[in-house]
Structure 1
């Protein structure tokens, strides 16, 4: 077939890359389908309506899942033991049972025969009710988009992160009034390493605000209010990553978040979370995201903060192809794959801007249906705020030229301090000017045939295919252990959270997984998914 697109990429090379990515992903998908984790089981309990925590802040879902694990194990899931105990014991509801579990007075067994069938039916009804609530919130988003309108692309993406949800809310609304289309509430530092989800509205986060269901609810309501005021829908994003990835995904669906940071390898590489735990948790979380109409935002941009952006460009493409395969298998559509990349080449490198254009256009053509999120320069920002502001403008220009879907605003004081509100206003002014001045300039940007941009893009794709051949041969877990992505080495049996991984036994039952596996997540949906961007997850 003849080459196609502005870069004249060889379609056979592109097909080969996707074929290799699918083969590399398959053993990991098989592992995820045959294992569970403590957080996957707790996510089921949250979907069934169990919320709240004890006086010390330990969630009831943790108490209940831990009691089941201690008494009968998690190999068969929590559903059968928990709903059997509700049927046969004195407990009024899940909350009452969880309190008894915390006191040590609840007793669990693995039911058989008619008792197992009854527990299976009861747990299925509870899971169905939770998924129905997610479906309702998805329909609610579709109505909001019709009523208030969808902003033009590229979306302008901005971070709010004070640590206090009641400070975040007015800042987020102010940012929307200044032009932000997506508000990301960055998580408190280290929350990804907590094996529980905090409860309630929080006011003391560190370099971010804790991701909790109540914080999700409060910010969603605030952004709905400002959306109606402005006449355009303002999207909300947070983080489904770390040791509680499945639970946070469920809470995001229940509270109508629009996008969630959810990368196949970020937590492994940058937070030292066990690879097996991450991939198992991720499959369930992406199934929930698919059902909720949430866009996942991947973290390839982070590789370029530890590796050279020129030398490691092909690792970004390989990760994007793997994220695409994992996402499709879990039910995500192309318009839910907010694949990430970044403008992180050292500006001192000759032709650095041309290299950036080649990389960005390559990603655009490899994933034409994806809402790509493009990250601004951070690694090479310095105390020279004037040079930083200029570099951000070049980043914005590259984003418009290559038709990126979401542009996260760059901050001129990135290399000095946490930006002031006035810095944010200047950054918004910068991206608004470039977006408005350029208009549809992407239509006119056509690299010279056989020129620098085309040759560089083809080289990166060729290097990606070579790396995928090695990953497919040696195994993805081996590649991660060898430091292929982001330099850092993470062995398959190392990191945090491995003790929470359990191989499923014959007869394992999780009704939420059964529903999500069996049903088309988009069957009742007519609206396109939202669009999203990403910053470094906590």
Structure 2
């Protein structure tokens, strides 16, 4: 991507040197993993990822360009449109695409038009655009340099807001404190009404939840725009909007002061608007975001190239904002067998790590996903779960792994479900997981009641209170069932990575390697929103984020 001219680099906000969570010393290996095999797996993952990284850096998307305008300060929507409200960023980007294309980026035509028409704000420009008063063109010469400087200055202001929010989070954590132990207890609220979500979230924090995740309304990932304002009508979730983010963050700050620990907020940077939602999360001080490199491709049928371009930009934003990402490998085990496909989870974790590092994320920001989804009727199912969880823990010793509860084999028998969740919580304690999603005994059967959440939190509190430090005493036999199984899964992962290196990751996705979902590289939703970059493509947001990543302390 194009770097900014030296004359404009004074507008770059300094990178934040916020304090990351303290690293714990790596635990001694309990599985006897061969260091050479681990190194080979990482090297193969890097080789498999590189062609996709090259593809991502050679393209932009309509959502990346809209996210850039959001960083530059463009908010709000055209409320006069006959088909409903249209966000101003959509109106402007679509018009630029129509007039002169997006291969050069949206910034140059927009900031050139702002000066040419002597308009004070981007909102003024958007309103004039909707009225048909603007004809966008690509500036050249001195006009291009002026537009570039103006764009960089405006985007830098947005990034400084993200920097201030990251520093504010650190101050609050220092003053209020973190939860007293790991794993962090992660609980979902999802009423559809942001005001009701606030009530549930605050009560959950009082009952012991450390992380509140607000589930998005069904289908929002397939909307190619971000709704505006507070919402009260979601379906099986609440719409992710900037105002909803602000409301929930304020509510959790309030209850954080009450309970004496910083309560973190999670939402979803995925779908067709992944980059925009990442920006909004940074602007409103969210702490975690679900952000997987392949989930949208596999489970929402979003175009693969669109997804890889968008996830790279969104992760650059998360890196700058100090946000922890949660990846979605757990989903593979709901559509494929959790035993025979265990190695695909490991491969995806290694790929997610590689993509995340390339985008500037540090190990402490990698909430890599895995799940407790083996059929409980299978002999030795719990031992298999321990093997897979320990393998993830040892492969990624500094990552706050996100451990997902049973869903696939929940039957509606609430007593059996409560027991399964107890086993899940015990596995999390035994294997040193970082983020433990609270399992409900009614999970995947009906929408849990508040009472279900309260009982689920009681289950977690009991297990962690009684066995939270049991990992200190847990030592599987060096050549026993658990260690042997873990080494076998790693060997399978290496063999699969070798095939992916030979065939290509896009081919692997197209042939159903992950979660049995087959997604061709030229198919899926949003393909028409992918644009190959011209040689003189300019995106000041990408340039500033990459400069920041280059200045960050080197990863251990």
* Corresponding residue for residue 126 of structure 2: 98
After TM superposition, the runs of 4+ consecutive aligned structure 1 residues lying more than 6 A away are: none
* Corresponding residue for residue 225 of structure 2: 196
For residues 215 and 469 of structure 1, the distance between their equivalents in structure 2, rounded to whole angstroms, comes to 44
* Corresponding residue for residue 534 of structure 1: none
For residues 551 and 158 of structure 2, the distance between their equivalents in structure 1, rounded to whole angstroms, comes to 16
For residues 202 and 476 of structure 1, the distance between their equivalents in structure 2, rounded to whole angstroms, comes to 38
In structure 2, the CA distance between the partners of 1:257 and 1:402, relative to structure 1 (3 Å rule), is: same
* Corresponding residue for residue 265 of structure 2: 236
1:59 aligns with 2:87: yes
1:311 aligns with 2:357: no
1:114 aligns with 2:162: no
* Corresponding residue for residue 131 of structure 1: 159
* Corresponding residue for residue 284 of structure 1: 313
Q: Is the 8 A contact 2:320 2:548 kept in 1?
A: no
Q: Is the 8 A contact 1:291 1:522 kept in 2?
A: no
Q: Is the 8 A contact 1:4 1:10 kept in 2?
A: no
1:301 aligns with 2:325: no
* Corresponding residue for residue 349 of structure 2: 320
1:23 aligns with 2:47: yes
1:169-204 CA-partner distances (Å, limit 9, x unpaired): 011000000010000000000000000000000000
1:190-227 CA-partner distances (Å, limit 9, x unpaired): 00000000000000000000000000000000000000
- Alignment of structure 1 residues 52-451 onto 2, 5 Å: 52-55=76-79, 56-151=84-179, 152-451=181-480
Q: CA deviation at 1:521?
A: 7.3
* Corresponding residue for residue 531 of structure 1: none
1:477-523 CA-partner distances (Å, limit 9, x unpaired): 00000000000100000000000000000110000001111223774
1:47 aligns with 2:76: no
Q: CA deviation at 1:100?
A: 1.3
* Corresponding residue for residue 549 of structure 2: 520
For residues 11 and 342 of structure 1, the distance between their equivalents in structure 2, rounded to whole angstroms, comes to 25
Q: Secondary structure at the match of 2:403?
A: strand
TM-score (norm 2): 0.93
Q: CA deviation at 1:87?
A: 1.1
For residues 164 and 549 of structure 2, the distance between their equivalents in structure 1, rounded to whole angstroms, comes to 16
For residues 524 and 15 of structure 1, the distance between their equivalents in structure 2, rounded to whole angstroms, comes to 22
* Corresponding residue for residue 37 of structure 2: 13
Q: CA deviation at 1:416?
A: 3.1
Q: CA deviation at 1:102?
A: 1.5
1:352-375 CA-partner distances (Å, limit 9, x unpaired): 000000000000000000000000
Q: Secondary structure at the match of 2:151?
A: helix
For residues 360 and 252 of structure 2, the distance between their equivalents in structure 1, rounded to whole angstroms, comes to 28
Q: Is the 8 A contact 2:217 2:235 kept in 1?
A: yes
Contiguous gaps of at least 5 residues in structure 1: 529-538
- When structure 1 is superposed on structure 2, of 128-137 and 434-443 the one drifting more is 434-443
For residues 104 and 316 of structure 1, the distance between their equivalents in structure 2, rounded to whole angstroms, comes to 50
For residues 357 and 131 of structure 1, the distance between their equivalents in structure 2, rounded to whole angstroms, comes to 42
For residues 91 and 417 of structure 2, the distance between their equivalents in structure 1, rounded to whole angstroms, comes to 49
Matching residue within 472, 487, 506 for 1:458: 487
Q: CA deviation at 1:297?
A: 0.4
For residues 4 and 236 of structure 1, the distance between their equivalents in structure 2, rounded to whole angstroms, comes to 32
1:420-439 CA-partner distances (Å, limit 9, x unpaired): 10011000000000001113
TM-score (norm 1): 0.96
For residues 225 and 410 of structure 1, the distance between their equivalents in structure 2, rounded to whole angstroms, comes to 26
Q: CA deviation at 1:317?
A: 0.2
1:345-393 CA-partner distances (Å, limit 9, x unpaired): 0001000000000000000000000000000000000121111110100
* Corresponding residue for residue 4 of structure 2: none
For residues 133 and 245 of structure 1, the distance between their equivalents in structure 2, rounded to whole angstroms, comes to 19
1:484 aligns with 2:513: yes
For residues 266 and 254 of structure 1, the distance between their equivalents in structure 2, rounded to whole angstroms, comes to 24
Q: Is the 8 A contact 2:178 2:261 kept in 1?
A: yes
